[in-house]
Structure 1
Amino acid sequence: MNATAKMVDVQGLTVDFKGPKGPIRAVDGVDLDLRRGETVALLGESGSGKSVTLRSLMRLHPSSAKIGGKVEVDGRDVLKMGSRELAGLRGPVVSMIFQDPGLAFDPVYRIGDQIVEAVRRHEKLSKAEARKRALELFERVRIPSPDKRLDNYPHEMSGGMRQRAMIALALVCRPKVLLADEPTTALDATVQIQVLLLLRELQRELGLAVVFVTHDIGVAVEVADRIAVMYAGRIVEMGPCRDVIRDPRHPYTQGLLLSRASHAPTPGARLAAIPGAPPDLSDLPPGCAFRPRCGHAIDDCAEAAPPAADVGPAHFARCIRTRRAAEAFESVTA
């Protein structure tokens, strides 16, 4: 397989949902590409459009949602697929690790039976052959006593164990693209690290292309090759992980970084916080959506949504004052 080929190619993605006062645009003009063996992290606060973007790659939105733009996965046009084609895409080509494995599994069926059913839906295997594959994956994700755990019901597993089983379910049909929707949010710190290390190891071993959604910039640093920062349905900054972390050019990215404990001026000091709250998507402010919360805003910021400005190799930010923002960040972190 060509390692440089695009496994995901998204251009001008828009997603509109019905609202009480008219359509609400949850995703607005997102461009995203992903190659084999690469991880892109979608980073931002709740409501920024991360999960909506992720689910668009499998067309998991309700039928009332209106999706526009271009969405290709492994060279296939997802937006033009019928229900049968989508069923063939979900699992063997692209698969998802959901945020809450407790809701992803049916509580009245054994976990092993659910994984076996997923395999047999897409491949002509006997129950014994499908169970053997499920067992191999349980061993790979390091679930102890895997043969016994396959016969567990979801409630008989701990949160960390269910998350590992969810990873096994996502990988059982050998997908090329893996979508991870905040898969470690509900886990304690120790288990979170174990799951992140496991995902990174499996990606290297299987050559997966991964889109990882998170609101935790520390998690993004651990898993991502590139980071795409989302705000109000748009990618406001994107670039290689090292560049975005060391030289953030959008005030929102800077605010996320400065709110981390590692950026506290002294131990125990109050952390910096981004003022205000994310905007109402049904009533966005004119111009830059981040303007009401930005400390560098000027009158021109209210004129129009800023275009993407290149600030480095494969690194862009949607801010008309990228140089001023960079200088301000350097003075705070110096």
Structure 2
Amino acid sequence: MNSTSAPIVEARNLTVDFAAGRGMIRAVCGVDLSLKPGETLALLGESGSGKSVTLRALMRLHPKSAKIGGTIQVDGEDVLALSPSALRAYRGKTVSMIFQDPGLAFDPVYRIGDQIAETVMRHEGVSRAEGRKRGLELFERVRIPSPERRLDNFPHEMSGGMRQRAMIALALACRPKVLLADEPTTALDATVQIQVLLLLRELQREFGLAIVFVTHDIGVAVEIADRIAVMYAGRIVESGACRDVIRNPSHPYTRGLLASRAHGTLGKDERLHAIPGSPPDLSAPPPGCAFGPRCDNFIETCAADVPPEVTVTTGHMARCFRLGALAEQAEPLAAE
């Protein structure tokens, strides 16, 4: 990653609202994101925190009834202002996505090689033979065994790990500049998960990709990310370089996520730490800090207003009224 290069992705005050009943539910609340070429940003948090909603907003994949606010700039383009034809060119060519379930992302009635070939044909105007050749090259690149034969497979004829590799090949078919990965390793066993993460890092170096990687697994975030943004109830509550966030977690929610991760083998009477309570109902969010009802450090101020961003160190911020007091009480956690 070139630390002096300009951001290729920049979102400011991003909001996403969905119609529900008589009102609107705000699933993403004022998110700011910045990503440079060759950099990986991990969006980390529990299910329902707004990670995937944010990711899909970057590609404008939400239904027309959804309202996206703020600004999204990707490779110099105003994404929210793109016409339908420009949006079709943008998806796949500038930005591409690896979906969480490749079994659902592929059309089950078409061979995978044909789906990749058609994607290349539509975006680059090449022949079907050229599109298939690109698919074969990518299958070889993502290390799918017997790649020429596998191009003629239907999605159901591949294992989960192989389908995920085919999904990565499809996402890279038109050589995008930004790759959005929506929990691409969640359904895989540990060995295949590591293989996919190593493959993504290798492909990133080769193609210079900027990657936004959504995960609820802090161990995966540590393996893949340069920077981490922790999301809760639609807001980024802590962000910074991966090393800074892991070594010095400054928001109670981040500390809870770290503490709830298994380290080695638990003893007979040991239990994993669990964050009490559940994420809030976004149709009726609590006043002030959304994490307040689950926080051991809750004070009256927390219910009065949304905490502002507080700088922990350069490039590392958190949203917590008690940030100073917590920093004094807590010892930094060692990096894995």
* TM-score normalised per structure 1: 0.97
Once the 2 structures are TM-superposed, how far is the Cα of residue 325 of structure 1 from its aligned partner? 2.3
SS in 2 for 1:106: coil
| Structure 1 residues 143 and 232: alpha-carbon distance in aligned structure 2, compared to 1, 3 A threshold | same
| Structure 1 residues 331 and 311: alpha-carbon distance in aligned structure 2, compared to 1, 3 A threshold | closer
Give, in whole Å, the separation in 1 of the partners of 2:194 and 2:64. 37
Give, in whole Å, the separation in 2 of the partners of 1:39 and 1:30. 17
Once the 2 structures are TM-superposed, how far is the Cα of residue 267 of structure 1 from its aligned partner? 7.1
SS in 1 for 2:253: helix
SS in 2 for 1:32: strand
Partner of 1:61: 62
SS in 1 for 2:86: helix
Contact kept? 1:95, 1:178, Cα under 8 Å: yes
Give, in whole Å, the separation in 2 of the partners of 1:118 and 1:144. 22
Give, in whole Å, the separation in 2 of the partners of 1:69 and 1:28. 10
Give, in whole Å, the separation in 2 of the partners of 1:4 and 1:331. 31
Q: Structure 2 matches for 1:3-152, cutoff 5 A?
A: 4-152=5-153
Partner of 2:331: 330
Provide Cα deviations, 1:60-84, integer angstroms capped at 9, x if missing partner: 0000000100001111000011110
Amino acid in the other structure paired with 1:67: I
Q: Structure 2 matches for 1:128-277, cutoff 5 A?
A: 128-262=129-263, 269-277=270-278
Contact kept? 1:264, 1:270, Cα under 8 Å: no
Provide Cα deviations, 1:160-204, integer angstroms capped at 9, x if missing partner: 000000000000000000000000001111100100000011001
Give, in whole Å, the separation in 2 of the partners of 1:160 and 1:329. 40
Give, in whole Å, the separation in 2 of the partners of 1:263 and 1:283. 39
Give, in whole Å, the separation in 2 of the partners of 1:83 and 1:264. 52
Provide Cα deviations, 1:234-260, integer angstroms capped at 9, x if missing partner: 000000000000000000000000001
SS in 2 for 1:175: coil
Partner of 2:293: 292
Once the 2 structures are TM-superposed, how far is the Cα of residue 103 of structure 1 from its aligned partner? 0.2
Contact kept? 1:264, 1:272, Cα under 8 Å: no
Give, in whole Å, the separation in 1 of the partners of 2:330 and 2:157. 48
Give, in whole Å, the separation in 2 of the partners of 1:332 and 1:126. 55
Give, in whole Å, the separation in 2 of the partners of 1:111 and 1:124. 19
Amino acid in the other structure paired with 1:144: P
Once the 2 structures are TM-superposed, how far is the Cα of residue 331 of structure 1 from its aligned partner? 8.6
Partner of 2:320: 319
Q: Does 1:281 align with 2:282?
A: yes
RMSD: 1.7
Contact kept? 2:43, 2:51, Cα under 8 Å: yes
Contact kept? 1:257, 1:263, Cα under 8 Å: no
Provide Cα deviations, 1:226-285, integer angstroms capped at 9, x if missing partner: 000000000000000000000000000000000011188857610111000000001111
Contact kept? 2:249, 2:332, Cα under 8 Å: no
Unaligned runs of 5+ in 1: none
Once the 2 structures are TM-superposed, how far is the Cα of residue 149 of structure 1 from its aligned partner? 0.2
Once the 2 structures are TM-superposed, how far is the Cα of residue 105 of structure 1 from its aligned partner? 0.5
Structure 1 runs of 4+ with >4 Å offset? 263-268
Amino acid in the other structure paired with 1:83: P
Q: Which moved more, 1:79-88 or 1:258-267?
A: 258-267
Provide Cα deviations, 1:52-105, integer angstroms capped at 9, x if missing partner: 000111100000000100001111000011110100100110000000000000
Amino acid in the other structure paired with 2:287: P
Once the 2 structures are TM-superposed, how far is the Cα of residue 21 of structure 1 from its aligned partner? 4.1
Once the 2 structures are TM-superposed, how far is the Cα of residue 20 of structure 1 from its aligned partner? 1.8
Give, in whole Å, the separation in 2 of the partners of 1:75 and 1:161. 35
Amino acid in the other structure paired with 2:285: L
Once the 2 structures are TM-superposed, how far is the Cα of residue 130 of structure 1 from its aligned partner? 1.0
Amino acid in the other structure paired with 1:201: E
Amino acid in the other structure paired with 1:170: A
Give, in whole Å, the separation in 2 of the partners of 1:30 and 1:198. 29
SS in 1 for 2:186: coil
Give, in whole Å, the separation in 2 of the partners of 1:302 and 1:31. 23
| Structure 1 residues 332 and 217: alpha-carbon distance in aligned structure 2, compared to 1, 3 A threshold | closer
Amino acid in the other structure paired with 2:330: F
